[in-house]
A and B are shown apart, each in its own frame.
Chain A
C-alpha cells in the first residue's frame, strides 16, 4: 500500500506542524497540571506514603488520614491474632495550636505521635534512625526544615502545643503538609499534647505490617468489621493514601478545577488540530476527488485523514513526552511538588490520542467537498 497519509505528512510537514504543536502543547499542559496537582495533594497522604506498613486501621468512614478518630486500643489484639500480621504499631494524629517563642502568633499544626524506635514503621521512609532516636527525649519534636520560619523556631528552641511545652530536637524534609504544619513526636509526647481526655493515649490509627508475599487486600477484607472490638475499618495503605488524596482533590475543588482545565485544553487543542487538518484536506481536495472519481470510496479516503490525525497525535505525544520529561526533572531539582503515576500518564496519553482522533473525524467531514464532478470544467 502506498503510505499516502505518512508521505504527505512528511512531505508537507510545514502544513501539519501547527497541528502537531497543538496536540503536543495540549498533552504537555494536561500532564504537567496533573503532575502538579498530584504532587501538591499527595503531600496530604505523606503519613501513609512516608511510612512502611501494609494495612491502616482507623475509624469507620474516615475519608482522609487527617480526619481520624480515636480507636479502641483492643483492636490491636484483633490484628495480632491474625497469622499474616507480623507487626502492629499505633499512630496518634491530632490537631494542635502552636505558640512559638517569636512573634508568629498561633499556627495550626498536625501532631503525629509515632513509635520512636529505630526500625518502626511510621515515617520510616522520611526519618532516619538518628533523627528518630532524638524523639525519645521527652517533649522532643521534629519539624520540616522548610517550616522553621513559619513556626518561628530554630533547632533546640522551645514552643508550646496546646499549652504543653515542646522542644525542637531536629529537622527533616519531605514532611510538609497541606493546610497546616506537620509536627512529629513520640507516642508518649503526643499523648501528653492531646487536650481531649476522652481520646488521650488512644491511637488514631493502627498500622500493620504483613508477612512477605501476603495479599494485603484479602487480609484487609478478613480483618474488617470483627464484632466485639468497637468500631474500626481496615484499608490497604495504597487504598487509604488514594482515598486521602482524592478527598483533598475533590473537597477543595481542585479536582473539579483540574477537570475543567483539562476540558478547556482538550477543546482548544481539538479546535486548532481539526482546523489544521481541515486545511490539509482542503489543500488536497482535488487529488482526493480524483481518487474518488477513480472509484476509491469516501470511507477509504476518510481512513487516510484519520491516519494523518493518528500520526499528528503520535508526533505530538512524542514531543510532549520529551519536553514533559525534561520539565519534570527540572521541577524535581527545584523542589516543585510534581508527581506522576503510570495510570495518570497513560490517561493523559490517551486523552491526547482521543483529541487527535476527534480532530481527524472533524477534518474527515471536509472530504464531502471532494466531489469529482467539481473537477469537470
Chain B
C-alpha cells in the first residue's frame, strides 16, 4: 500500500479485453479491445446507457464471466486464466458484491445474512459474529440485526447487502446498479457508504450505474457506449485517496 502511494499500481487491470455473445448465428460484440486500470481506495463509477456493456465489464473484471481476448489482472493475479474452483476461491477471499436486487435469504436475520459467507472463509464462530456485527454497525444496521428481510425497508435491505459484501473485508468490491431499486435518500446513503468503504478500508470499489444522481459521488467516472470507454473523468485527484489509504494502512 505504501508503495502504491508513491507510484500508484492499479489493483484491477483489464488489457485489450474483448467479449462477444453468440446467439444462434448472430455474434454480438459487447466489449471491444477495452483497457482500463482501477485503483485501490477509489470509488469508480461506470455509467452509460443500457446495453452499452457496463454490466458485462463488471462481470469480466470481477471474474463472473470469461473473456474472449485480452487479460484481466486482479491484485496481481491473472483471473482470466483461473479455473472455476480457483476463481470461486479468489472471489471468496478477495471480492464483495452488491446487486440491484438485494438477494437476501427470507429465512435469515440480517446478522445471519452477513455471517453466512463468512463461515465459508473458515473463520472461528466468534470472529464471524464479531465481523458481522461490526459490518452491520458500519452500515448503521446494528440495532436491526435480528430482523428478517420482510421486516426491513428497501434501503435497509441494501445496507444489509452492503454489510454482507464488506464483512469479508474484500480488497475489491463490485456494485451493480446498487441504487436503482431505492428512493433518492436511500440511494444517497448507499453510495455514500460505498464511497466511505473505499476511503477508509482502501478498497477498490467499482460501481455500475445509469443513475445520474451518483455521478457527483464517485472519485472517478467512466462513460461507456457501445462497448468502449468514451471518457475517463476524475472528480478528485488520485493522490488524496492514496494518502488516506496510506494513513489507514499504517499503524
* Chain A residues near B (Cβ < 8 Å): 1-2, 4, 7-8, 10-12, 284, 286-287, 289-298, 300, 372-373, 375-377
Contacts and interface: CB of A to CB of B under 8 A. Distances in A.
B129 to A, nearest CB: 11
B65 interface: yes
A377 B117 contact: no
B93 interface: yes
Interface string B44-73: 000000000001101100101100000000
B153 interface: no
Most chain B beta-carbon neighbours within 10 Å: one of A289, A290, A372, A377: A290
Interface stretch (B106-114, B191-199, B226-234): B106-114
A160 B191 CA distance: 102
Contacts of B101: 286, 375
A296 B62 CA distance: 15
28 contacts: A1-B125, A2-B108, A2-B115, A4-B108, A7-B108, A8-B106, A286-B101, A287-B103, A289-B103, A293-B62, A293-B91, A293-B99, A294-B92, A294-B95, A294-B97, A295-B89, A295-B91, A295-B92, A296-B117, A296-B120, A297-B85, A297-B92, A298-B88, A375-B97, A375-B101, A375-B176, A376-B176, A377-B177
A297 B122 CA distance: 13
Most chain B beta-carbon neighbours within 10 Å: one of A8, A294, A372: A294
Contacts of B100: 375, 377
Contact of A377 (B65, B89, B95, B176): B176
Interface of B: 55-56, 58-59, 62, 64-65, 85, 88-93, 95-97, 99-101, 103-108, 112, 115-117, 119-120, 125, 148, 164-165, 168, 176-177, 208
B208 to A, nearest CB: 8
Given A297-B88, A377-B55, A290 B120 contact: no
Most chain A beta-carbon neighbours within 10 Å: one of B65, B107, B177: B107
B107 A10 contact: yes
B88 A292 contact: yes
B84 to A, nearest CB: 8
Contact of B165 (A4, A7, A294, A372): A294
Contacts of A289: 103
A286 to B, nearest CB: 5
B58 A376 contact: yes
A294 B176 contact: no
Contacts of A287: 103-105
A368 to B, nearest CB: 12
A294 B85 CA distance: 13
Contacts of A290: 97, 99, 103
A7 to B, nearest CB: 4
A289 B99 CA distance: 11
Contact of A372 (B64, B112, B115): B64
Contact of B116 (A11, A284, A291, A377): A291
Contacts of B148: 11
Nearest to A372: B64
Contact of B88 (A7, A12, A295): A295
A197 B233 CA distance: 116
Contacts of B96: 294
A376 to B, nearest CB: 4
Contacts of A295: 88-93, 95, 117, 120, 168
B88 to A, nearest CB: 5
Contacts of B95: 293-295
Most chain A beta-carbon neighbours within 10 Å: one of B65, B97, B208: B97
A2 B104 CA distance: 14
A124 B15 CA distance: 92
Contact of A373 (B59, B89, B103): B59
Nearest to A8: B107
Nearest to B104: A287
B106 A11 contact: yes
A231 B13 CA distance: 90
B119 A1 contact: yes
B105 A284 contact: yes
B112 A2 contact: yes
Contacts of B106: 8, 11-12
Contact of A375 (B88, B99, B108): B99
A286 B157 CA distance: 15
Contacts of B112: 2, 7
